[in-house]
Structure 1
Amino acid sequence: MNTRNLLILLSLFISTVLFAQRPDAKKITISGKVIEKGSNQPLEYATVVFENIKTKQLSGGITDENGGFKFDITAGTYIARSEFISFKNVAIAQREYTNDTNLGVISMEADAAMLDDVVVIAERSTVEIKLDKRVYNVGKDMIVKGGTISDVLDNVPSVTVDAEGNVALRGNENVKILIDGKPSGLAGINIADALKLLPAESVEKVEVITNPSARYDAEGGGGIINIVLRKGKANGVNGSLMVNAGDPETYGASVNLNKKSDDYNLFSNFGYNDRTNPGNTIIDAEYFNNDGTTSSFVNERRKNNRNSKGYNANFGIDLSLSNSLTWTNALTFRESDGKNLDEVFAYNFNEIKNPTFVKNRVNDQKSDDFSIEYSSNFTKKFKKDDHKLTVDVAISQNRDNQFATIYDQILGNSASLNTQGTTNQSKQQRNLFQADYVLPLGEKGRFETGYRGNFSNNLTDFQVSPTSDYSSKLEYVEGVNALYAQYGSKIDKFSYFLGVRFEDSKIEVNSITKNEYNTKKYNNFFPSATLNYEFSETSSTSLSYSKRINRPRGFFLNPVSSLSSDINIFQGNPDLDPSLTNAFDLGYLKRWNKLTFNTSAYINITDDSFQFIRKESGRFVGAVDAIPADPNIPGDTGTPAEQGIPVILSTPINLSKELRAGFEFNLNYTPYKWWRLNGNFNLYRNETQGNYAYENYLGDIITQNFDNVALSWFARVSSKVTLPYKIDWQTNGSYSAPQTTAQGKILGSASMNLAFSKDILKDKGTIALNVSDVFNSRKRIMDTTIENVFSSHSEMQWRSRQIMMSFTYRFNKKKTDRERPQRRDDGGGEGDFMG
């Protein structure tokens, strides 16, 4: 409920008390019903206000779930009006009321100028632009029907998801992902993999916070992405059912159920999916001798046929223990089984590109993953508005097991068959404790303070049989205790928010295989500041600063996670240090009748930034032992040893400095009622500085210079059109421009998604068809060169074009049903207190 309605209710309460002191006054009853003009749907929580002409006292009430209202007033002469957020006020002419009166049906018309702020599942904007963050509402986006959270994020302004599932904000992959405002064990150890399994239907909205305040976790140099899971809020029993099927072969179903009363709110959602994601990779590499001449060529062709089956379930209850105390409990499960037949053909050529042999490597992978999380929240509200205390506890466990059998042989040579087995078993335990206190001071001020304790233990055991140098058992233990305090206020059109966060960190990275134990202890202060100025009700600007940290986790540290290819291997770095970022942001927001424009210029300065490099390993594939000279053959000098093809390792390192600066803007434009446009453009410059030295197989020290300046840009446009017969048509197009790296170049990539939907069964059902990656062009294309070692061109497509059909049925609620604003704080920021 917005502030205006709270003031009206307060006035109504005072008026009621005053009237109660006048027993001689005649009381009469006013009743009626409020509906939405056009759809004739009832408007719940609309306000009907009566103002006495003589005394100026207010009376009135709020409509129920059927749009009805009924309240008592003192007989007299009144002017009246009906109000509802995002709708035009309806005035009721002045008249004298002497007896009980039924006003009949009051029709209210939506106000197009305010649509961006409406919490309406059916007609609200897909993207809400606010000064401190952007909110992406999933409920109205057809593109992601039947998809995953990765698909959701790939449609969010300023956010990109590459072909491997890595999430970036403004082109920066050092981003912190939260679920319901906090780190979640549901994400498991590898957040990119988890987001590709969780269904899109479980998400209500995504909040993008590019420069968070001290209230938030300091993790994430590029900002924070908060995923808010769906939670029913409408009174009574209601819910929805969604089923989908697609090609490549995909099936899924999800159910959302909710029962709400004045004392409790039961909410739940269940989902099942069976997804097939075929992908492919090509790598064309040229290898060099020490003098720079060509030694050989290898063309790799890889095909993946990933299949995952899984379910997720969420149960929760909000208990209203009193008018001021709410207790929420939730239990969430996620389990999945996966298969991936990964087949690689390596076509080998000599130095003049004549074929020599073809090697086939088949990696038959199986996996199982299970997560469980219990969370509890207490919210205590005090007498003063916005004065509250919240306490959160979350305990989670995650298990991720992967097993693979690898067959490797040279075609036509059965004796060359080699078989390997790999197991990758990971366990994670995470405990989170958090308390936040908000105290309003004066008329516009607000003080916040709190504590967060985040404790996790990850154990990863990667084994190769027969025995291999790649086997590794790694334990990662993290404990972070944090305290924060911040204060904000508003003076006329100027507002500010100043804060500081202190984090004490203890990190253990233990290589059990190598018997190496490393403990890192450090503490940091993270200041933040936000300054806002309102030129008018529709125009404002902001300047913000924050200090952030990136702690390496998961596959960044894990020495080896896969041996799908024996010549191109990713290897983590257990010795990575955290990186620190100073972030500056200057933003401007302007709203017109049909257009909302938001732009910002930003600078991120990062020390010890993470940089992925590729280097030559001392291991070789296809080596041939030397053949000594035969003394019985005159002139025979023997055959020298063939060193074979060097194994190229990809690994992250700490560089000395990264400078990132950019400019972006977002547009929400509604030229007509039947057409909406969203646009996002981001131009950025990324400069890295630093050198990296390593010892090659010959014992030589190789120094690589990573000084590099890259200029790139990204654009996305989304169009939603209502066609005849009320068919909705949505189109999303995006383009990532080329970008140079210290070891090569990432080429440009374009993609497009289409979706159509039609409401049926008197708007209780919706049928939708969407096509993801229409032109099958969504690929990560790279050129990489290491001087006197190799040069390669690679194209990686994690998932090919997909066509999906879905059907949604809503029971006991209409598509246009309004939802009451939540009492719970879903990770909202400091921008919510000023207005």
Structure 2
Amino acid sequence: MVILLLGILLGILSVNALFAQEQAISVYVQGKLVNEKNEPMSFGTAVLYSLPDSVFTKGALADADGNFEFDAVLNGTYYVEGSYLGYSKLHSAAFSVNQSTENGHIVLPTLQMQPETVGLQEVTVTYKKPLVEMQADKMVVNVESSAIAQSGSALDVLRRSPGVTVNQQQEISLKGKQGVLVMVDDKPTQLTHEQLGVMLQSLPANTIDRVEIIANPSAKYDAAGNAGIINIRLKKNKNTGINGSASANAGYGWNPVFGTNLNLNYRNEKVNLFGNYGYTDRKRGNDNYFRRFVELPGDSLVFDQNFYQLYHNQTHTLKTGADWFVTPKTTVGVLFNGQFDLANTDIDNHIALDGFNKEGYTDVKANTDIRNNWKNTTYNLNLKHQLNPDGSALNVDLDYAAYRITENSHLNNRYLNMEQEVLPPYLLRSNNNSNVNIAAAKADYSRPLKNKAMLETGVKSSYVWIDNGIFFETQAENGIWLPDAGKNNDFRFTENINAAYVNYSQQVGKWAIQAGLRAEQTNNRGNSVTLNRTERQNYLSLFPSANVSYTLNDKNQLAFAYSRRIDRPGYTDLNPFTVYIDQFTSGRGNPFLKPQFTHSVSLSHTYADMINTSVSYSRTTDALGDMIVQSDTTRNAYQIPSNFDHFDNASVTVSAPIPVTKWWNAQLSLNGFYSRYQSVYLNQTINNSQFTGMIYLANNITLPKNFSVEVAAEYHSPLIWGIYHVKSNYSADLGISKSFGNGSNLKFSLTDVFNTNIDRITINDNNLRLNGNFKNETRVATLTYTCKFGNSQVQNARRRSTATDDERSRVKGQ
């Protein structure tokens, strides 16, 4: 309650400040950039700074004639900085905006820039980006701008991003929609949500530059991801020289966490070499309880289950590559990504049975030890070639990715009555080996056309082959381990996807138009050798997309977007093997899963480049989700991936940065969405719906002597995930940072200050009734120190996507 009152108070103050500023004078500032020959500096950069502290206010890109403009400039004194590659930065004379500004319009004298010369000294301006930026096609969360955001892991960053929800099973949703495609540097992560959770938990937040949330991707992107794309951009180093950074962090919640990271970059006129190494040693706990009811005529049984899971991950990540600038128009690059993880999971599970049990025991103590070794390597060879001076370009990527996953588990069930063993223990162990191989090639061509138009087209082909085997043994009373052939499974899967797309965009006066079409042909074959069962799927799908925006005036812009997208089942979701959590609970794959297709539309409005409001609707057919099936005979329950007939989602989102005072900035995000799942499954009707409200408020307070403080709070009302009903939840985070003159900084964070982040779920569908509380280790204090060295102006390494992006995001383990 305290944090809710704090959030309401800050929100009221923020909104009051916003409306107060609306009453202040605001003007339109216009200028022009030219070179030493008075020729326009097409697409040069102009930045507006306020005095006396040289605080970044607005940025603008000059048009083809060198003209730039800033709108909604408030009272104050400013100057403009012009910049262009190969030219020295140039500052305008200071000018003032006040009540006497004539006609609310200022035209600056032309800024004539000069070629860069050796020895010319520049004024260094420090600019801190806002935490959340609304851009034309995406929302950007600038992680480096927040001490809170830089604490913990990448998964923690997503939890704190507006509109994003991460449940205790580490499944990610966006505005209430599951099926988010998570990418790292434009490369999708082909993992189960469990494996993705492990990877994101082991990726330190302080290695992330920003997170891009793309609700309606264009045809250029793979069609996967019905809820959109979350693209995690890692930090890069900034025309010749060497630089780098090193960081170390330590934290404690229920368990300790430690991490280090080293980032290096070298560049000269012919080559750019870059590399990043990180190590994380993290223990994290998960304390859970659920009660499952089995009610039959004249008979009932209640399972009360408490289980504590302790995860210990030791993760090494390595990214290295090189770019060779063959000619001014041609660049050849190689890239290697590796992640090597040793993960131990210990589960202490106690099940109390209340009711009639013919076996004679009332308690089961189940202990499970899981040892996991995960190796993921990706190799990329790429070419970028500028074909013509007009900017036409060809990009080619060749990729190979390999996942090698081994998992050994040991399950020990003991059956008790009044603490006395009444049956021999049930001992089960398994060995699981999963080999996933992905090969892909893609080519993208772009060409600027007349009248501010752009044409993009490309092709892609990928081939995936998987060999997945699991072998079970049970221990006999004499201590001998014997094969349990009824549980063993050998599954093999192959898939070929061929795709082509075309995308056209153009600026016509106040209109901006983008339209595209993508075609994907899918051929796959799943073969369960153990069950002698083969399933094939062959289909061709078209994925249109469109985005139209219109600038009403200097303060208002409208945009409409439409897209059709697909989510294919995870590779091993199609594998019909069974994984045991305990004797009564298991999970299994489903070889009959179909892909889900989603139509999405949205309408958005942007005011003064600050306040963004959007309304969206989507309908998904054959929606992928998990079902829990309970046997009235054995009373056991198993979870199985399934298709819901329909999933509908309608949402309204409002986001605004709010400058409360000169030293206090806030970011407010409001999101409301209605979700509805409808299906008939095993002759039973499912009809779940829920309206959910989400509030996110982040406050950044600048203090003297390079200190800053952040306070962030979030709340969501009840929501649904398929058959799961999740109760309301709220949490708050605190961060303090100190910057030093040598480029280093020290940051402290405390996440989930009041330890209130708990998932409370219920299921009440047909013959299944279940209540549960799931509590992750979310209150963690972390201290992080980062230092930078070398030439701070070394240009960034190229960002590029690879050909295996979509396929890698579907790799799943057991």
CA 1:344 to 1:468, structure 2 compared with 1: closer, same or farther past 3 Å?
Answer: farther
Which amino acid counterpart does residue 450 of structure 2 have in structure 1? G
Counterpart pick for 1:589 among 606, 614, 628:
606
Q: Which residue of 2 aligns with 1:115?
A: none
Counterpart pick for 2:322 among 302, 317, 321:
317
Counterpart pick for 1:768 among 747, 758, 773:
747
CA 1:231 to 1:741, structure 2 compared with 1: closer, same or farther past 3 Å?
Answer: closer
CA 1:6 to 1:209, structure 2 compared with 1: closer, same or farther past 3 Å?
Answer: farther
My pick for the range that moved more, 417-426 or 522-531, is 417-426
Q: Which residue of 1 aligns with 2:187?
A: 182
The alpha carbon displacement at 1:410 in A equals 2.0
How far, CA to CA, are the matches of 1:819 and 1:615 in structure 2? 57
How far, CA to CA, are the matches of 2:243 and 2:93 in structure 1? 27
Q: Which residue of 2 aligns with 1:254?
A: 261
Q: Does 1:462 align with 2:470?
A: yes
Q: Does 1:208 align with 2:213?
A: yes
Q: Which residue of 1 aligns with 2:367?
A: 362
Which amino acid counterpart does residue 686 of structure 1 have in structure 2? S
Q: Deviations over 1:271-304 (max 9, x none)?
A: 0010001111101222211x2x551222110001
The alpha carbon displacement at 1:270 in A equals 0.7
Which amino acid counterpart does residue 797 of structure 1 have in structure 2? K
Q: Which residue of 2 aligns with 1:50?
A: none
Q: Which residues of structure 2 form unaligned runs of 5+?
A: 1-29, 42-48, 62-80, 95-105, 475-483, 803-814
CA 1:124 to 1:520, structure 2 compared with 1: closer, same or farther past 3 Å?
Answer: same
Q: Does 1:565 align with 2:575?
A: no
The alpha carbon displacement at 1:148 in A equals 2.3
How far, CA to CA, are the matches of 1:256 and 1:690 in structure 2? 49
Q: What SS does structure 1 have at the residue aligned with 2:538?
A: strand
How far, CA to CA, are the matches of 1:61 and 1:735 in structure 2? 42
Counterpart pick for 2:644 among 634, 638, 655:
655
Q: Which residue of 2 aligns with 1:245?
A: 250
Counterpart pick for 1:409 among 414, 431, 437:
414
Contact 1:186 1:371 in 2 (8 A): no
Which amino acid counterpart does residue 726 of structure 1 have in structure 2? N
Counterpart pick for 2:139 among 134, 137, 141:
134
How far, CA to CA, are the matches of 1:245 and 1:348 in structure 2? 42
Q: Deviations over 1:421-451 (max 9, x none)?
A: 0222222111221111111111211111101
Q: What SS does structure 1 have at the residue aligned with 2:631?
A: strand
Counterpart pick for 1:280 among 260, 275, 287:
287
Q: Deviations over 1:35-69 (max 9, x none)?
A: 9988899xxx999xxxxxxxxxxxx997999x978
How far, CA to CA, are the matches of 2:705 and 2:384 in structure 1? 46
CA 1:347 to 1:208, structure 2 compared with 1: closer, same or farther past 3 Å?
Answer: same
How far, CA to CA, are the matches of 2:535 and 2:699 in structure 1? 52
Q: TM-score, normalised by structure 2?
A: 0.81
Q: Does 1:229 align with 2:208?
A: no
CA 1:588 to 1:278, structure 2 compared with 1: closer, same or farther past 3 Å?
Answer: same
How far, CA to CA, are the matches of 1:46 and 1:499 in structure 2? 27
Q: What SS does structure 1 have at the residue aligned with 2:385?
A: strand
Q: Does 1:373 align with 2:378?
A: yes
Matches within 5 A, 1:493-512: 493-512=510-529
How far, CA to CA, are the matches of 2:31 and 2:139 in structure 1? 25
Q: Which residue of 2 aligns with 1:687?
A: 676
How far, CA to CA, are the matches of 2:200 and 2:119 in structure 1? 52
Q: Which residue of 2 aligns with 1:605?
A: 619
Q: Does 1:520 align with 2:537?
A: yes
How far, CA to CA, are the matches of 2:35 and 2:443 in structure 1? 30
Q: Deviations over 1:131-184 (max 9, x none)?
A: 211122222222243532212222222222111111111111112222322335
Q: Does 1:447 align with 2:428?
A: no
Q: Deviations over 1:58-100 (max 9, x none)?
A: xx997999x9789xxxxxxxxx9589xxxxx9989999x9xxx
Matches within 5 A, 1:386-785: 386-411=391-416, 412-413=420-421, 415-466=423-474, 467=484, 469-554=486-571, 556-560=573-577, 562-591=579-608, 596-617=610-631, 620=634, 646-693=635-682, 703-739=683-719, 743=723, 745-760=725-740, 762-785=741-764
CA 1:716 to 1:386, structure 2 compared with 1: closer, same or farther past 3 Å?
Answer: farther
Larger Rg: 1
Q: Deviations over 1:328-355 (max 9, x none)?
A: 2211211010111101011122269xx9
CA 1:338 to 1:208, structure 2 compared with 1: closer, same or farther past 3 Å?
Answer: same
Q: Which residue of 2 aligns with 1:333?
A: 338
Q: Does 1:810 align with 2:788?
A: yes
How far, CA to CA, are the matches of 2:589 and 2:431 in structure 1? 17
Contact 1:150 1:196 in 2 (8 A): yes
How far, CA to CA, are the matches of 1:534 and 1:61 in structure 2? 25
Q: Deviations over 1:360-393 (max 9, x none)?
A: 1000111111111112222112444432111122
Q: Deviations over 1:238-273 (max 9, x none)?
A: 111110111121111001111122332221111001
Calculate the aligned-residue CA RMSD, in Å. 3.8
Q: What SS does structure 2 have at the residue aligned with 1:608?
A: strand
How far, CA to CA, are the matches of 1:11 and 1:401 in structure 2? 66
Q: What SS does structure 1 have at the residue aligned with 2:144?
A: helix
CA 1:377 to 1:281, structure 2 compared with 1: closer, same or farther past 3 Å?
Answer: same
Q: Does 1:264 align with 2:271?
A: yes
Q: Deviations over 1:732-789 (max 9, x none)?
A: 22222113577562211222222211123x24221111122222222221112244x4
Instruction: Identify the structure with bigger relative contact order (alpha carbons < 8 Å, sequence gap 6+).
Output: 2
How far, CA to CA, are the matches of 1:711 and 1:63 in structure 2? 49
CA 1:822 to 1:469, structure 2 compared with 1: closer, same or farther past 3 Å?
Answer: same
Which amino acid counterpart does residue 786 of structure 2 have in structure 1? T
Counterpart pick for 2:196 among 191, 194, 214:
191
Contact 1:165 1:193 in 2 (8 A): no
The alpha carbon displacement at 1:800 in A equals 4.1
Counterpart pick for 2:774 among 781, 792, 796:
796
Q: What SS does structure 1 have at the residue aligned with 2:188?
A: coil
Q: Which residues of structure 1 form unaligned runs of 5+?
A: 16-34, 48-59, 71-79, 84-88, 111-119, 621-645, 694-702, 828-835
How far, CA to CA, are the matches of 1:90 and 1:235 in structure 2? 37
Q: What SS does structure 2 have at the residue aligned with 1:406?
A: strand
How far, CA to CA, are the matches of 1:126 and 1:225 in structure 2? 16
Matches within 5 A, 1:78-227: 81=92, 123-184=128-189, 190-227=195-232
Which amino acid counterpart does residue 769 of structure 1 have in structure 2? F
Q: What SS does structure 2 have at the residue aligned with 1:564?
A: strand
The alpha carbon displacement at 1:306 in A equals 0.8
The alpha carbon displacement at 1:218 in A equals 0.7
How far, CA to CA, are the matches of 1:471 and 1:348 in structure 2? 29
CA 1:743 to 1:333, structure 2 compared with 1: closer, same or farther past 3 Å?
Answer: closer
How far, CA to CA, are the matches of 1:528 and 1:714 in structure 2? 28
Identity in percent: 23
Which amino acid counterpart does residue 442 of structure 2 have in structure 1? Q
Q: What SS does structure 1 have at the residue aligned with 2:168?
A: coil
Contact 2:150 2:157 in 1 (8 A): no
Query: What is the number of residues matched between the two proteins?
Result: 718
Which amino acid counterpart does residue 131 of structure 2 have in structure 1? T
How far, CA to CA, are the matches of 1:128 and 1:745 in structure 2? 32
How far, CA to CA, are the matches of 2:485 and 2:718 in structure 1? 38
The alpha carbon displacement at 1:219 in A equals 0.7
CA 1:766 to 1:741, structure 2 compared with 1: closer, same or farther past 3 Å?
Answer: closer
Q: Which residue of 1 aligns with 2:23?
A: none
Which amino acid counterpart does residue 722 of structure 1 have in structure 2? T
Contact 2:688 2:723 in 1 (8 A): no
Which amino acid counterpart does residue 168 of structure 2 have in structure 1? A
Q: What SS does structure 2 have at the residue aligned with 1:139?
A: helix
Q: TM-score, normalised by structure 1?
A: 0.79
